[in-house]
Amino acid sequence: MDIADWRKKIDELDGRLVELLSERARAAVEIGRLKRDTNLPIYEPDRERIVFENVQQLNRGPLPGRDLVRIFERIMDVMRNIQKEGIGAKSDRVEAETELDSDVND
């Protein structure tokens, strides 16, 4: 395969990753609703530790485990934010955030 073929393969893999991340986000939203309804905290460090252990056990390389954990740290950070937004959406908040809001631009 030449570089164009490899790039096409990466584009296809990126599409699959987007689908899987969207599916994971939908699951995170549902978990966030359950957490809200049962007054559980959004951040659960024990659960995150388990996820990190699981992905490291599944890893067959060539991505080093520490890099895989860094990727999952970011994924889980985004998923926590999705859960927080879901909980915030239940409140009486009227104004939508924009790029001019200070929280968005930090």
Please report the pLDDT score of residue 54 as a whole number.
97
For domain 3-89, say whether CATH 3.30.70.100 is its number.
no
For the segment 41-67, the average pLDDT, to the nearest whole number, is 96
pLDDT of residue 89: 53
CA distance 69 to 71: 5
Q: Would you call 99 exposed, middle or buried from its count of C-beta atoms within 10 A (0-12, 13-18, 19+)? A: exposed
Map tokens 């939908």 to a residue. Answer: 26
Phi, psi at residue 41, to the nearest 5°?
-70, 150
Given a contact cutoff of 8 angstroms between Cβ atoms, the answer to whether 86 and 34 are in contact is no
Q: Yes or no: say if 38 and 87 are a contact pair by the CB < 8 Å rule.
A: no
